[in-house]
A and B are shown apart, each in its own frame.
Chain A
């Protein structure tokens, strides 16, 4: 069976569950980059990211038989990635710092509003991108995760909360703090 661009992720996953390898090909093509970058930015090691990336997709394959549409497929996929990442952190005694609480309210107050920011037309897109990547890497992990899930997974706050297993408010706070820091960093 051929799958078009209009076919939803959930339909593709159901197709793969029913034995259509072509559905998996389409699904993989859609999400491989986002999942890979999410893992790469989180663990900051290409080799580890590849290993985790492979594990995430293998877990998806193993779980295909019991797959039912209960949420957006993207949420399901990134939850698998999040869980695999947590396992990796635990295995390597990596302390996940819940850092949004460490960010003082004063820091938020210092962030200028988007409208007040001077347009930095002088910086070309490449430099801006490089700077943003540095800022993302410097973010606390949970905030970085929230931002990456928003960017790579196209998730809403609710979906980020679902994927990471936290409340909506927590997810919203994490995302908001991440955005503030990134804006601040881009202005400097």
Chain B
């Protein structure tokens, strides 16, 4: 059907039309485009519609934002779940590893606080507001809280039977049996000595009643240290205080928590200041003396030493060394007799 036929003979040309010519033309005009041309054009028309679907694109555009948001939410939840299930343990362990790998820069753990740590919240965060406190007592308290939190985490992990990093390392073939810091980490003698003093000072501050026994058993081993230890400790404290003041300005001024970069920084100085006020320096050297033989040794040596102390009847020394061992190797398995 041609438009001429649809419109009627008179509609198109009007008065200019000739019925005889129209009739003759319709009789003769029968040509049609070939079928392959029809197919090609119709296919092209469909392709054109499919390539740029206007209605479909409008529908897709309407769904684009909700679908994007849903995808982001799903990805975030998946990532969070993965991190919590797999990466969370590693993230929690990494501060402990850091602590054990840098023994000179970490604050000593209050051994007496460890048993109480089970009462502390398991996920006690490091005291972000600790540097804002200006007096030493607050600093010490926050350090204790942080260490209590660490101890609680260690306790939780031990109860849950979570495999520790060091266990995994020792279980794998070819892995070093002992943690790296005790073998490879270079430690300056001066800082080592100062640290030992700090450790001892912390121990004495926590257990002042044991001060009287300082020279009883370990006096020969640590006889040279008491004289130099306070000086070194003071130097450390001075250096730490200076460093903290460099970073944060005045210690007494109120500062935002973020202004103090590492939360651990003020703690050694707090402990060092505690050394100044602490009881007898001889008492503080007892733990250092106990650790002297095993400090740079593998955990097994520590355990051997602790067992040897127990066999000798020096239960308190053994317990102190065991506590220090637990602090340094929180994930190391203990023999049944020491648990």
Query: What is A's interface to B at a CB cutoff of 8 Å?
Result: 16-21, 24-25, 28, 30-34, 36-37, 40, 50, 53-54, 57-58, 61-62, 64-65, 74, 114, 125-126, 128-133, 136, 150-157, 159, 172, 175-176, 179, 182-183, 186
Contact = CB atoms under 8 A, between A and B. Distances in A.
Contact of B41 (A28, A126, A150): A28
A175 B27 contact: no
Given A21-B46, A126-B27, A152-B4, A32 B14 contact: no
B253 interface: no
13 contacts: A21-B46, A34-B3, A36-B33, A54-B41, A58-B44, A61-B48, A74-B3, A114-B20, A132-B21, A150-B4, A152-B3, A156-B14, A186-B21
Mostly, the B contact residues are: helix
B138 to A, nearest CB: 72
Interface residues of B, number: 43
A126 B27 CA distance: 7
Contacts of A19: 49, 53-56
Interface stretch (B5-13, B65-73, B254-262, B314-322): B5-13
Interface of B: 1-7, 11-14, 16-18, 20-25, 27-29, 31-34, 37-38, 40-42, 44-46, 48-50, 52-56
Given A136-B25, A155-B13, 14 more contacts: A16-B49, A19-B56, A31-B3, A33-B33, A50-B34, A54-B37, A61-B48, A65-B54, A114-B20, A132-B25, A132-B28, A150-B17, A153-B12, A156-B13
A156 B8 CA distance: 12
B144 to A, nearest CB: 72
* 9 tightest Cβ-Cβ pairs between the two chains A and B: A129-B28, A154-B3, A154-B12, A129-B27, A154-B4, A154-B7, A24-B45, A128-B24, A36-B33
A57 B27 contact: no
Nearest to B16: A175
A157 B14 CA distance: 8
B18 A114 contact: yes
Nearest to B13: A150
A186 B20 contact: yes
Contact of B31 (A18, A36, A62, A74): A36
Contact of B42 (A25, A156, A183): A25
Main secondary structure of the interface of A (DSSP, over half): helix
Nearest to A128: B24
A156 B45 contact: no
A125 B23 contact: yes
Nearest to A78: B3
Contacts of B24: 125, 128-129, 131-132, 186
Contacts of A61: 44-45, 48
A19 to B, nearest CB: 5
Contacts of A114: 18, 20
Contacts of B29: 37, 129, 133, 151-152
A50 B37 contact: yes
Contact of B21 (A37, A65, A130, A183): A183
Contacts of B13: 150, 155-157, 175
A140 to B, nearest CB: 17
A152 to B, nearest CB: 6
A133 B31 CA distance: 12
Contact of A151 (B4, B14, B49, B50): B4
B146 to A, nearest CB: 66
A182 B18 CA distance: 10
Contacts of B40: 54
Contacts of A50: 33-34, 37
A153 B1 CA distance: 11
A132 B18 CA distance: 13
A32 B49 contact: no
